[in-house]
Structure 1
């Protein structure tokens, strides 16, 4: 039976609450279908409320073989697997004549490892395992109880997925019974390989029509020769604006003394005393070098740091030789492999830092309290890596609500490793773009207000002028405010000021868990919720609970952020503008994501208030940033916006 994409979409839409096709949805579905048939890669911007998930899932069901869908956030992954896909399968079964199948693929560490469970069971003292462990054991007693509960769950679980374990357990407890991919000895060597939960999940994925995964696992799969995810001809990337950052994280490496200490402890029983002593000395040398090093980018590696890295590399190599080859029948293989892999990862990172390659950026990182120190190395750009690994032998459809920055796809295409649209197409890299808009009437539903009368921000934290403006705005609406701040210091000052000058309750990120804060914010209309970057995307508060979104300053990367600074400097050195090519697109994406918190449904109304005059006054990038936002009605008049907020507050 031949089924076209429009007929299938009509059946799918009929199963959604409300049952109406959304503006742009059919256009997007047909574009995705056309890209799949022609082999031409597609960038498609679909605003909030478009129903883009159905628009790409429906044509995916017409593909012969698995289609992989990658997301950036757990929230969207959960929405697809528990909501969209089951409803879609029910709706299209009568049309297709079969029920489509789907599977979720996570990293190996998300699944219970029976070999690790058996190994840890043999090593733990009896007291640690007791449910009634004495109170003086503190965290150790709690950990023991959690591991005991995991073992009981292990007897009944079918899929071995950590998310099935309710209530959950601490990361420390889970690490004792799970195996990261790098440390796994492989199903062929493992005595539990035939009943491995991670392998079973991959087997289910190979038989599914739709395979859902995340950007990090997608990156690892691409770098590892595509043997983790099932073979596929079509890849759909949702939340595509996050892909380059996730790939950067996947290719980033760091070196810490705690990692050295853990590697030493794991290797100790498999190496002689002198080899272990060398690891301890190397860890000490690294600790001294990091303590004396200044935080920030390393233009060149010399002195104590270079000497410490040389000592670390040599000590780890010596320990690896001490462990030797791991044979299939080695009873200690499950313990030796992680020990060897940890040492190998450290020596790889040390060698990468010592190489000082032009395509890498290195820096010293310290937390605010100075307790955690790390040497970090990351690629200057991942665009070339994506060009080589993402597109060959498959069609890529990249979708997001924020792909057209400044009204163009150029910046995002460049970050994703695609050539300029007007360039001569390279083999396999021909691409098109489409903006299907949004069903929302932004000029009538929302106002973009820029406080142009406030002096531009010049210091960290919240200026007095911005604090005064915030109080006026929040007071006019009577709460219902989501405050998105550039730093924790600014968020804390904002909470302090609003609490002191109004009677409105203020929820501050960090004072409770984020899910609880968001739940209270939704339930109590007079509250304000203030926080930092994790609130800028992924928070969905439709209706009257959120009618004012306040952004304290334009979210440019910090000047001392090593990777952004290095990327800007490299473009400057080639005669371009690093600020225009790196900082402005970064700010555009974050700003659009933050402003996108306001209008979530057709009935929502409100104001996005930006307390940074540069959005209005800077001719070089202000129009570009405003064009990256939804087309709200625009004003810089504080009296107009306060009256609008008062009307909303009393309506």
Structure 2
């Protein structure tokens, strides 16, 4: 008699409930996930497009949470995936498996504080916000939003005045059961949302008179009672940065789109300091704290004088003397203000009354102090921190930044140690092995033997040390909280797609290498020929916005097909127009490389203008590359080539989205074929049939452009 709680049986039940069909890779993945969480191990799972990886980890996660009574946290990278998991996949899985398990699974959604409406604020419990600097607080709450690549505003919000949006928000706040910003349709601008929300630092906490009605508190209470909690990578970044209590206690962590985890933790751990943020803290202290800010005002002036002549770029020898002194002045002034803002103790027998204005002032000054203290402490320590200066294009403001040189230790210590973990994505194996990814997230330390690498067909233990794709740890702050590495293994369950038959990888070897210009004449001629052969149907992925705009303008002059360029409208609108009209072309940058899912005849040609190496002046990546080289490794391969391999794999993966798709990925950078690192990069791509013959690619596109015969 079959085991009623066997993974295979439960997976069949869940697949049937979602109206799907069994898939071999999904079954292999589900059993591997179940085995890893039961043994308390760490598993990297590469699950290609079409595998159905959401069910591949949700079914064993729900099963384990209920049977072992151990909470599982599932993290997603984007708003779209979070909505899919929480509003569709996970509830269906929980409902389908409930009759098969000893009890019904409990599920919950958890986001950052700022993503929920504050009922105390909508009731008039907070003073009006400072409109000049809404998000320059170093706002932890705002940073806890799942994705910086997705539009936060609703499509209709721009046509609605701020006042009308706030009125609609307040009406919605009286009706909503969740207070979750994503449940508000249509959405509103960030400025409007700020009028009804607070950050975790600004919250009155247990002293709030409306604590029983607090939406973020309810969400956290639900998470503490749930078996499976869905959150996002930004929240993992907060936890990894030293605030583990933002997540409920859990024994298992599942990370979807795990290839983005290290970058999200880096972003969350990056501190920013500007004259504007100093002035904002001063305004809050004066307006809501009622105190003088003479010392902080002087520090702001000193910082402005230091920054005005500061060159852009990374500081390899620490901050210049004048800038270091100005940062120290900001730190000391903020510390003094924090003391002055400390509320007076109530008289004996009296309860402290909450002061929301004072809380806003204190949170702004505290955030400033923490940033300035960190920069002052690390100004001369280049072993663990990357410091740089940048001027914003939108306002010309100069800002100082500090980022950790490495985050693998943070991830290992605060997220993975002492837990079972499953990290999955369609792109985890780079250059044919998992070691690069394992190092980037702290599973493996430098100089250790490679962990086991597995495929669905075979299992092998290998030590590929010395391969071009091998990476080395860059220095991370020493820690005793976790070992230098954790035992792990990798699994590639493949894809249901027949890539060699469904797609062609065309490398334009005859073109000159790309230069500094957005596009060469030879590239424009090649793009024109490819799009003409395809009859439109083209997704153009470019390494810069300047290139996307330049090629878009050129193709509008040369071709008689609609050409859309990212930035001309909201991204969801552009993608919808692209999918609905087969002749349309869509050109864009990073969001399109990773976030577009358009199966069918509308997307039969993906053009990649150049290998997407990081910019040479990228401060964090250049610092990491230098650190690897200093330790005896290949900094270019460890950092730049690995970054490029990941993006190439993501970009090429836009082509084949279903078993019926056919098409061509055209890379206009001959280095993919001629350079030594080219093979490492191509091994990271789907296994398309490869050619450097232009006529072969054009002929295939012409044949695909012929409409299929009507059904009999």
SS of aligned partner of 1:512: coil
Tell whether the 8 Å contact from 1:406 to 1:626 is kept in structure 2 after alignment.
Answer: yes
What is the 5 A alignment of 1:97-112?
Answer: 98-112=103-117
- What residue number does 1:164 align with? 183
What is the 5 A alignment of 1:582-597?
Answer: 582-597=639-654
Compare 322-331 and 276-285 and name the one that shifted more. 322-331
SS of aligned partner of 1:602: coil
The normalised TM-score by structure 1 is 0.93
Q: Is it true that 1:362 corresponds to 2:384 in the alignment? A: no
Tell whether the 8 Å contact from 1:478 to 1:649 is kept in structure 2 after alignment.
Answer: yes
Q: Is it true that 1:645 corresponds to 2:646 in the alignment? A: no
1:184 and 1:254 map into 2 onto residues whose CA distance is 22
- Give the deviation of 1:272 after TM superposition: 6.0
Q: Which residue, out of 301, 326, 329, partners 2:319?
A: 301
1:123 and 1:422 map into 2 onto residues whose CA distance is 58
Corresponding residue pairs, total: 633
- What residue number does 2:423 align with? 398
Tell whether the 8 Å contact from 1:327 to 1:333 is kept in structure 2 after alignment.
Answer: no
- What residue number does 2:34 align with? 33
Q: Is it true that 1:73 corresponds to 2:130 in the alignment? A: no
1:333 and 1:395 map into 2 onto residues whose CA distance is 43
For 1:96-155, what per-residue CA distance to the aligned partner results, in whole angstroms no more than 9, with x for missing partners? 36443321111111111123334467659xxxxxxxxxxxxxx9x933333233222222
- What residue number does 1:291 align with? 308
Tell whether the 8 Å contact from 1:119 to 1:334 is kept in structure 2 after alignment.
Answer: no
1:205 and 1:265 map into 2 onto residues whose CA distance is 36
1:106 and 1:528 map into 2 onto residues whose CA distance is 36
For 1:446-472, what per-residue CA distance to the aligned partner results, in whole angstroms no more than 9, with x for missing partners? 000000001111214111111111111
- What residue number does 1:16 align with? 18
1:121 and 1:241 map into 2 onto residues whose CA distance is 40
Q: Which residue, out of 572, 587, 590, partners 1:533?
A: 590
2:408 and 2:373 map into 1 onto residues whose CA distance is 23
- What residue number does 1:491 align with? 548
Q: Which residue, out of 124, 127, 148, partners 2:167?
A: 148
- What residue number does 2:7 align with? 5
Q: Which residue, out of 422, 435, 440, partners 2:449?
A: 422
- Over 3 Å counting, the alpha-carbon distance change for 1:21 and 1:638 in structure 2 is same
2:250 and 2:343 map into 1 onto residues whose CA distance is 35
Gap runs ≥5 in structure 2: 130-157, 453-482, 708-712
Q: Which residue, out of 94, 105, 117, partners 2:122?
A: 117
SS of aligned partner of 1:13: helix
Q: Is it true that 1:184 corresponds to 2:203 in the alignment? A: yes
Tell whether the 8 Å contact from 2:508 to 2:694 is kept in structure 1 after alignment.
Answer: yes
1:605 and 1:598 map into 2 onto residues whose CA distance is 8
Q: Is it true that 1:508 corresponds to 2:565 in the alignment? A: yes
1:576 and 1:32 map into 2 onto residues whose CA distance is 33
2:450 and 2:188 map into 1 onto residues whose CA distance is 52
- What residue number does 2:223 align with? 205
2:403 and 2:17 map into 1 onto residues whose CA distance is 45
- What residue number does 1:632 align with? 688
- Over 3 Å counting, the alpha-carbon distance change for 1:295 and 1:15 in structure 2 is same
What is the 5 A alignment of 1:83-98?
Answer: 83-96=88-101, 98=103
Q: Is it true that 1:335 corresponds to 2:352 in the alignment? A: no
- Over 3 Å counting, the alpha-carbon distance change for 1:201 and 1:326 in structure 2 is farther
1:327 and 1:66 map into 2 onto residues whose CA distance is 40
- What residue number does 1:542 align with? 599
- Give the deviation of 1:240 after TM superposition: 0.3
- What residue number does 2:529 align with? 472
1:27 and 1:286 map into 2 onto residues whose CA distance is 57
What is the 5 A alignment of 1:549-560?
Answer: 549-560=606-617
- Give the deviation of 1:257 after TM superposition: 2.0
What is the 5 A alignment of 1:120-139?
Answer: none
2:440 and 2:418 map into 1 onto residues whose CA distance is 20
Q: Is it true that 1:227 corresponds to 2:249 in the alignment? A: no
2:495 and 2:694 map into 1 onto residues whose CA distance is 28
- Over 3 Å counting, the alpha-carbon distance change for 1:170 and 1:199 in structure 2 is same
Q: Is it true that 1:578 corresponds to 2:635 in the alignment? A: yes
- Over 3 Å counting, the alpha-carbon distance change for 1:303 and 1:428 in structure 2 is closer
Q: Which residue, out of 508, 528, 531, partners 1:451?
A: 508
- Give the deviation of 1:369 after TM superposition: 5.4
- Give the deviation of 1:316 after TM superposition: 1.4
SS of aligned partner of 2:253: strand
- What residue number does 2:619 align with? 562
2:266 and 2:410 map into 1 onto residues whose CA distance is 10
Tell whether the 8 Å contact from 1:391 to 1:428 is kept in structure 2 after alignment.
Answer: no
- Over 3 Å counting, the alpha-carbon distance change for 1:219 and 1:123 in structure 2 is closer
Q: Is it true that 1:351 corresponds to 2:373 in the alignment? A: yes
1:522 and 1:303 map into 2 onto residues whose CA distance is 55
For 1:181-218, what per-residue CA distance to the aligned partner results, in whole angstroms no more than 9, with x for missing partners? 122232x2222222211010111122222211001112
- What residue number does 2:133 align with? none
Tell whether the 8 Å contact from 2:289 to 2:361 is kept in structure 1 after alignment.
Answer: no
1:493 and 1:318 map into 2 onto residues whose CA distance is 52
The normalised TM-score by structure 2 is 0.85
RMSD of aligned C-alpha atoms?
Answer: 2.2
Q: Is it true that 1:609 corresponds to 2:666 in the alignment? A: yes
1:91 and 1:318 map into 2 onto residues whose CA distance is 58
Compare 89-98 and 512-521 and name the one that shifted more. 89-98
Tell whether the 8 Å contact from 2:95 to 2:104 is kept in structure 1 after alignment.
Answer: yes
Compare 521-530 and 460-469 and name the one that shifted more. 460-469
- What residue number does 1:409 align with? 434
Q: Which residue, out of 194, 203, 221, partners 1:175?
A: 194
Tell whether the 8 Å contact from 2:241 to 2:268 is kept in structure 1 after alignment.
Answer: no
- Over 3 Å counting, the alpha-carbon distance change for 1:340 and 1:9 in structure 2 is same
Gap runs ≥5 in structure 1: 125-138
SS of aligned partner of 2:63: coil
2:588 and 2:397 map into 1 onto residues whose CA distance is 24
Compare 528-537 and 59-68 and name the one that shifted more. 59-68
- What residue number does 1:135 align with? none
- Give the deviation of 1:367 after TM superposition: 2.4
2:128 and 2:606 map into 1 onto residues whose CA distance is 53
